[in-house]
């Protein structure tokens, strides 16, 4: 969109760190230490924010900052670039959209270069329009530049150009950029271990999610559309202070529960259906991820109850394993064993659990992993394997434990089981001595669910 007056072109330089910026400043310092330790010469790291994306006509999708950019900057506006230069006199440079009086009238104030320094801890800030011109000079003397290829086309091109120019300069006695390396493994290693304030945000998101699930369960009536239930769920999130979800809510009634990432949410809820909710409110960018499955009419059928009890037991045993030193994969293996035993018991599979597991015979009914990391992203960053081995759980990690069984309407299974999909998901913090089920207060026992739906 066009503007009528030129934005201020002046850079702004640093004040002391604002309270707001404190946790972000601590992360930038920690990352700077990790990156400096990994390299012999001077290093810089470049991170790009997200951009607005067109939805239709002149309407954009709701903007949410990509998680790593937010994690390091706390800056929520699009079209920004952060440059870290550990050990430099100006170690933190932000490029941002400048203050624009015309845009302020239409869409609100921007932080601008003044706000970037005053509130977001930049030692110096420039208008984003000056990125092309200034980046080569700001990378002067750096031997290693950390940048994630594929993250942002414009910044990627600038980094590539800077590398090429400096290579030419190197022949005339200048310092070449010898390495462009991905900062992702370092950021990921930081993000997978949550601090106390991150856990507090997750707890709040999970608590709000529990209230939303409770409200949706109580509001469930046969003949509703799934999206009406979604509205009840998410109205409670908003009412309780979560401005958005961590991901689109899954509200799946009847056989829709067999579709893992069902988000159409436009079917009618039948009177004998199970409803599967897989959902999470987001608070301060941290999102919950909780699944509950319950009967529409407040009473599980015998077949629904049989399937549900197996998934619940798989989840109970898997969660019980979680503590420091246990391998991530062991949590999955435990859930899987209970599920395969259960499928045999139900008459869906025949054979020994060991052979059925080895052959993957369970996969038509349980086709996803039991766990993923949780944090700023619902499927949060963090390695699952290192050097070919499963990662070992450490205090501060947060993982979901979410076994499920999905018996599709056309499955080769006893007729009464077909169309039943059950997933039960909780968010588990690894503590020093074991674990804390952050969503354990949200009911999942059969009699509790029946009582809530019946009101
Ligand atoms: Mg999940």
pLDDT tens sequence across 408-428: 999 999 999 999 999 999 999
User: Same domain for 42 and 183?
Assistant: yes
Q: Verify whether residue 435 is a known catalytic residue.
A: no
Residue 139 has pLDDT above 50, yes or no: yes
pLDDT band with cut points at 50, 70 and 90 for residue 5: very low
What pLDDT shows up at residue 16?
A: 60
User: Same domain for 327 and 434?
Assistant: yes
Pairing outcome for strands 43-48 and 144-146 = parallel
Percent of all residues in the chain with a pLDDT value above 70, rounded to a whole number: 96
Could you list the residue range(s) of the whole structural domain that residue 353 is in?
192-454
Structural domain count of the chain: 2
Q: Verify whether residue 406 is a known catalytic residue.
A: yes
Q: Does any domain span residue 1?
A: no
User: Same domain for 102 and 36?
Assistant: yes
Check which CATH number belongs to the domain holding 63 and give it: 3.40.350.10
What pLDDT shows up at residue 38?
A: 84
How far is CA 422 from each of CA 20, 110, 218, 366, rounded to the nearest angstrom?
42, 45, 19, 10
Contact of 184 with 150, CB cutoff 8 Å:
no
* Phi/psi at 95 (5° precision): -105, 130
What pLDDT shows up at residue 12?
A: 66
User: Same domain for 227 and 353?
Assistant: yes
User: Same domain for 184 and 204?
Assistant: no
Least confident of 12-16, 105-109, 232-236: 12-16
Q: Which residues surround ligand 1, an ion (CB under 5 A)?
A: 289, 400
Which of 157, 190, 223 delimits the end of a domain? 190
What pLDDT shows up at residue 90?
A: 96
C-alpha 77 – ligand 1 centre gap (Å): 28
User: Same domain for 124 and 230?
Assistant: no
C-alpha 355 – ligand 1 centre gap (Å): 28
User: Same domain for 134 and 62?
Assistant: yes
Q: Verify whether residue 51 is a known catalytic residue.
A: no
Q: Verify whether residue 99 is a known catalytic residue.
A: no
pLDDT band with cut points at 50, 70 and 90 for residue 6: very low
Q: Does any domain span residue 229?
A: yes
What pLDDT shows up at residue 40?
A: 82
Catalytic residue among 28, 203, 332, 423, which? 423
- Encode 106-141: b = buried (16+ Cβ within 10 Å), e = exposed: eeeebbbbbbbbbbbbbbbbbbbeebeebbeebbee
Contact of 259 with 301, CB cutoff 8 Å:
no
User: Same domain for 285 and 418?
Assistant: yes
What pLDDT shows up at residue 7?
A: 44
C-alpha 245 – ligand 1 centre gap (Å): 13
Which of 175, 190, 205 delimits the end of a domain? 190
C-alpha 424 – ligand 1 centre gap (Å): 10
Catalytic residue among 236, 282, 289, 426, which? 289
User: Same domain for 51 and 179?
Assistant: yes
What pLDDT shows up at residue 168?
A: 84
C-alpha 374 – ligand 1 centre gap (Å): 8
User: Same domain for 226 and 287?
Assistant: yes
User: Same domain for 209 and 102?
Assistant: no
Q: Verify whether residue 52 is a known catalytic residue.
A: no
User: Same domain for 407 and 357?
Assistant: yes
Which of 170, 190, 210 delimits the end of a domain? 190
C-alpha 372 – ligand 1 centre gap (Å): 7
What pLDDT shows up at residue 15?
A: 53
Residue 107 has pLDDT above 90, yes or no: no
C-alpha 398 – ligand 1 centre gap (Å): 12
Residue 9 has pLDDT above 60, yes or no: no
């Amino acid at each position: 969109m066009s503007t009528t007056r030129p934005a201020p072109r002046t850079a702004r330089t640093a004040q002391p760190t604002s309270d707001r910026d404190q946790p972000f400043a601590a992360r930038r310092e920690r990352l700077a230490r990790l990156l400096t330790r990994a390299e012999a010469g001077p290093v810089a790291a470049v991170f790009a924010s997200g951009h607005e994306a067109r939805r239709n006509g002149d309407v954009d999708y709701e903007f949410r900052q990509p998680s790593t950019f937010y994690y390091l900057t706390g800056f929520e506006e699009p079209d920004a670039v952060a440059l870290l230069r550990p050990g430099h006199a100006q170690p933190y440079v932000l490029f941002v959209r400048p203050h624009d009086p015309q845009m302020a009238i239409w869409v609100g104030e921007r932080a601008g270069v003044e706000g970037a320094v005053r509130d977001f801890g930049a030692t110096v800030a420039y208008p984003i329009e000056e990125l092309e011109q200034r980046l080569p000079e700001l990378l002067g003397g750096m031997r290693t530049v950390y940048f994630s290829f594929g993250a942002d086309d414009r910044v990627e091109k600038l980094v590539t150009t800077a590398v090429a120019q400096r290579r030419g300069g190197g022949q005339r006695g200048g310092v070449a950029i010898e390495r462009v390396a991905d900062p992702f493994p370092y950021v990921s290693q930081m993000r997978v271990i949550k601090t106390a304030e991150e856990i507090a945000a997750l707890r709040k998101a999970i608590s709000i999610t529990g209230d939303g699930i409770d409200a949706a369960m109580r509001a469930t009536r046969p003949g509703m559309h799934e999206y009406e239930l979604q509205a009840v769920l998410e109205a409670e999130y908003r009412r309780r202070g979560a401005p958005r979800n961590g991901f689109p809510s899954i509200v799946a009634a009847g056989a829709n529960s067999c579709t893992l990432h069902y988000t159409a949410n436009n079917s009618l809820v039948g009177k004998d259906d199970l409803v599967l909710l897989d959902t999470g409110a987001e608070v301060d960018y941290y999102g919950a991820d909780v699944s509950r499955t319950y009967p529409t009419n407040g009473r599980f059928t015998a077949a629904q109850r049989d399937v549900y009890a197996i998934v619940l037991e798989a989840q109970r045993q898997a969660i019980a394993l979680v503590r420091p030193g246990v391998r991530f994969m062991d949590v999955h293996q435990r859930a899987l064993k209970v599920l395969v035993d259960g499928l045999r018991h139900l008459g869906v599979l025949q054979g020994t659990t060991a052979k059925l597991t080895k052959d993957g015979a369970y996969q038509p009914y349980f086709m996803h992993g039991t766990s993923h990391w949780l944090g700023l992203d619902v499927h949060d960053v963090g390695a699952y394997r290192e050097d070919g081995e499963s990662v070992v759980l450490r205090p501060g990690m947060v993982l979901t434990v979410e076994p499920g069984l999905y018996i599709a309407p056309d499955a080769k299974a006893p007729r009464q089981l077909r169309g039943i999909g059950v997933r039960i998901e909780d968010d588990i913090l690894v503590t020093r001595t074991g674990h804390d089920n952050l969503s354990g207060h949200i009911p999942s026992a059969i009699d509790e669910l029946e009582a809530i739906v019946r009101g």
